[in-house]
Amino acid sequence: MSVQFGRWNFEGPPPAPEYLEKVAETLAPYGPDSNESYSKGGIKILYRAFRTTRESHREVQPHVSRSGAVITWDGRLDNRAELISELRAPFTVDTTEVAIVAAAYEKWGDECLAKLIGDWALSIWNPQDCSLLLGKDFIGTRHLYYSFDDQHITWSTILDPLVLYAGKPFKICEEYVAGWMAMYPAVHLTPYSGIHAVPPCSSVMLRPGKHGVNCVVARYWDFNAKKRICYRTDAEYEEHFRIAFSTAVRRNLRSDCPIVADLSGGMDSSSIVCMADLVIARGQAECPRLDTISWYDDSYDDIEPDTNELRWVVKVEEKRGKAGLHLNANKLATARGSRTQDHFESVFDNHRFAAIPVPNRSQDGLFEHYNAYMKSSGHRASLCGIGGSEFLGDGTPNPKLELQNFMARLRLPKLVRQLNAWAAKMRKPRLPLLWEAARDFFPLAIQDKIDPENVLPLASWLHPGFVRRNCAALYGYPSRTELFGPLPSFQDNLRALDGDRMLLARSPLQPEFLREVRFPFLDRDLLEFVFAIPREQIVRVGQRRSLMKRALVGIVPDELLNRRRKAFVPPESRKDAAATWPSLAELGERLITHDLGIIDLERFQEALEGAQRSEEISSASLTHTLTIESWLRHLATHGVLTAPAPQKKQRFPSHLQAEGLHPPTQPKSLASYVCKTTWKGGENDEIRNARTHCIDCDRCHPEQRQQDGQ
């Protein structure tokens, strides 16, 4: 996973040498294999390579095409043979991928992006039409950020140089913080107003003009909702899946050094390892060796041994005849102390800038061992099972999507037949199963009123204005299922795909833990097949992962294919009784999250005191809030924020020097939802009023927008 940086000054001299020196020093730990650059007039492009394929060792980047376009490519091109054939160019199997991409751009222009299959991010500066094209693959496995003003455009693989060397402080993007507190921010957002992320499956075209930079963000490709794959027999579906899955695994095995696979003992990681062994045995893989690394937790072996995945890991290792590295997560858990206060103070190291609110995982004992193993064994790439469970029917078998498909297409006889079959298998009445499927077609506001218990309450200490402005992000951008249009199962697949995209977007590169993570289940061709087949192939009555299990018989050990999972809740006695939460005074008596209007100070103090008394308070929400507070203080220490005016109801003396902070921006939400939160002792009046007016956050009443300052 190489890194790139570019700065384009429209008029005047190139970027200052001291500025470029600082940027180059920041990029260096991420790309140990080369230090290359391009310079002409007001443009400067830097490239640092992290090589993982045979062809990448012959690349010279940035690459200048025949027409003079300057291309910087970070990625792995999975369909290089097909592109070479389609381009009809005198290329060979040894041709570098950046040369293939350059030829594709010369022939098709920006339309070439839709033809590039693999994990990639690229930038193309075209001096002929004075434009900059940025793009990412359809899933967003690579990062690429950009910012611009009237004088210049800056882009980079990592956020650090865009933030630290901008020469100005930034406002915090409220919507990003809200999305992060709900687990995943939207993929186009960064924490900083004015700095943007290139969305997955999209291109960003930037051109300087008389009235500033013209920026056009466009989708270059998407899944075809009308595509259908229908076979007569189950065997044909199974064969197609095996071919598509083996192709996906083979593509991700292309490497000039050994690859390590994360083997957790679950169905997804086990399937990847077993299929990879088959591909390697057939001589179809380009990697010299596949190793595995597994972590397990033996905390509850005396209560429920099935929670320990090591026994399933061993089954796969026995089949492949080779043991991997085993790490006991219980024993390697980082000693963070007994107090949450201790953890709060050490989440972010001020000696290493954290551009997003994700602590450095390389300090964790588990990842220290993981990293040491990869370095000692020469691994540079790892295989991860993300995507399998989301699209191949993991979890308790549920008829909802199948029934919704029949409803949307008015296939009433089959709806009745399958409803009866599922009701008999699940031993549930038919009407509740039918209602569970039908309710998703109602507008979200009506769903909330009909079934309010289905909506999880937000943290009671969030400021009402913050909730009003960012309720969609706080609820994870929910959306209703459309009755007319794409099949409901197709819509659900796209929602799951967006979830994976947001997960990858908030996973930062870490120079201390360099590796290229690959995701076979997120292969574009494999997902196209899965999205186009009937839902009843994926999940059948009482059978989860039906197609996957049928197709992998003889490849994955039978014990895993027939494994029955048990629900297990850790007993209360296993909680760390010594753990305590910090008081407000211990946190420093002034909270930046309060000054920015994110939390209500009094209610947050009540929540902390309640947690200290072991009351039912969401520990995850408290931890998220404390992490955001710690991160904001970290940013203040680095001087990258503008100063907020302290809230009028500040009750504590200020000793935290937060120079450079400013009230938050109010970005427009991407989705709409009913504003709702639950407060201790009842619903807050301000929130109740917000729910009355703000039924749709994108089209709320003018008087409410004026009140919120939007």
In this prediction the pTM is 0.88
**What is the band of 703 on the pLDDT scale with cuts at 50, 70, 90?**
very low
Please check the confidence at residue 544 and state whether its pLDDT lies above 70: yes
Please state the domain count of the chain.
Answer: 3
226 lies in some domain: no
Is the domain of 212 the same as that of 253? no
Contacts by 85-89, CB closer than 8 A, 24 or more apart: 86/115
Question: DSSP class of residue 580?
Answer: B
Sign of CA dihedral 300, 303, 306, 311: positive
Name the phi and psi angles at 588, rounded to 5.
Answer: 115, 0
pLDDT digits (tens, 9 = 90+) for 640-690: 987 665 655 433 333 333 333 333 333 333 222 223 333 333 333 333 333
Is the domain of 33 the same as that of 145? yes
- Give the type of residue at 308: N
433 lies in some domain: no
Question: What is the predicted pLDDT for the residue at 575?
Answer: 45
Q: Under a CB-based contact definition with an 8 Å cutoff, are residues 414 and 406 in contact?
A: yes
**What is the band of 439 on the pLDDT scale with cuts at 50, 70, 90?**
very high
449 lies in some domain: no
Sign of CA dihedral 160, 164, 167, 168: positive
For residues 329 and 226, which has the higher predicted lDDT (pLDDT)?
226
Q: Under a CB-based contact definition with an 8 Å cutoff, are residues 180 and 628 in contact?
A: yes
Domain boundary among 173, 189, 219: 219
Please check the confidence at residue 338 and state whether its pLDDT lies above 50: no
Is the domain of 135 the same as that of 238? no
For residues 686 and 344, which has the higher predicted lDDT (pLDDT)?
344
CATH number at residue 263: 3.40.50.620
pLDDT digits (tens, 9 = 90+) for 6-16: 999 998 788 99
pLDDT digits (tens, 9 = 90+) for 98-152: 999 999 999 999 999 999 999 999 999 999 999 999 999 999 999 999 999 999 9
C-alpha angle 346-350-356 in degrees, rounded to nearest 5:
85
Q: List CB contacts of 373: < 8 A, sequence separation 6 or more.
A: 260, 293, 325, 379
Q: In 137-177, at which residue ranges do the beta strands (DSSP E only) sit?
A: 145-148, 152-156
pLDDT digits (tens, 9 = 90+) for 350-390: 778 999 998 765 557 788 888 889 999 999 999 999 999 99
Average pLDDT for 490-508: 94
Rounded mean pLDDT of the chain? 85
Question: What is the predicted pLDDT for the residue at 653?
Answer: 33
319 lies in some domain: yes
**What is the band of 94 on the pLDDT scale with cuts at 50, 70, 90?**
confident
**What is the band of 396 on the pLDDT scale with cuts at 50, 70, 90?**
confident
166 lies in some domain: yes
Cα Rg of the chain (Å, integer): 26
| Lowest mean pLDDT segment, chosen from 147-151, 200-204, 329-333, 443-447 | 329-333
Q: What domain range includes position 159?
A: 3-219
pLDDT digits (tens, 9 = 90+) for 416-435: 999 999 999 999 999 999 99
437 burial (CB, 10 Å; 0-12 / 13-18 / 19+) is buried
Question: What is the predicted pLDDT for the residue at 569?
Answer: 64
pLDDT digits (tens, 9 = 90+) for 179-233: 999 888 999 999 999 999 999 999 999 999 888 899 999 999 999 999 999 999 9
Is the domain of 152 the same as that of 117? yes
Average pLDDT for 24-41: 95
**What is the band of 511 on the pLDDT scale with cuts at 50, 70, 90?**
confident
Please check the confidence at residue 572 and state whether its pLDDT lies above 90: no
Alpha helices in 511-664 (DSSP H): 524-532, 535-538, 546-551, 558-561, 592-595, 601-612, 619-637
Q: Give the DSSP per-residue string, 292-334.
A: EEEEE--TTTTT-GGG-THHHHHHHHHHHT---EEEEHHHH--
Question: Distance of alpha carbon 131 from its chain centroid, rounded?
Answer: 29
Q: How far apart are CA 346 and CA 468, in angstroms?
A: 32
Question: What is the predicted pLDDT for the residue at 363?
Answer: 57
Is the domain of 36 the same as that of 179? yes
Question: What is the predicted pLDDT for the residue at 252?
Answer: 97
Is the domain of 118 the same as that of 265? no
Is the domain of 164 the same as that of 262? no
Is the domain of 294 the same as that of 171? no
251 lies in some domain: yes
* Six-digit token string for 413: 């006889």
**What is the band of 483 on the pLDDT scale with cuts at 50, 70, 90?**
very high
531 lies in some domain: yes
Average pLDDT for 532-541: 96
- Give the type of residue at 517: V
Is the domain of 243 the same as that of 215? no
Q: How far apart are CA 235 and CA 40, in angstroms?
A: 59
- Give the type of residue at 140: G
Domain boundary among 219, 254, 272: 219
Q: How far apart are CA 274 and CA 268, in angstroms?
A: 10
56 lies in some domain: yes
Q: Under a CB-based contact definition with an 8 Å cutoff, are residues 524 and 387 in contact?
A: no
Question: What is the predicted pLDDT for the residue at 709?
Answer: 39
Is the domain of 544 the same as that of 647? no
Domain boundary among 192, 219, 246: 219
210 burial (CB, 10 Å; 0-12 / 13-18 / 19+) is exposed
Is the domain of 630 the same as that of 654? yes
CATH number at residue 115: 3.60.20.10
Q: Under a CB-based contact definition with an 8 Å cutoff, are residues 198 and 204 in contact?
A: yes
User: At 220, which helix (H) or strand (E)?
Assistant: none
Is the domain of 357 the same as that of 215? no
Question: What is the predicted pLDDT for the residue at 11?
Answer: 85
SS3 state at 85 = helix
Q: How far apart are CA 419 and CA 541, in angstroms?
A: 10
Please check the confidence at residue 577 and state whether its pLDDT lies above 70: no
**What is the band of 450 on the pLDDT scale with cuts at 50, 70, 90?**
confident
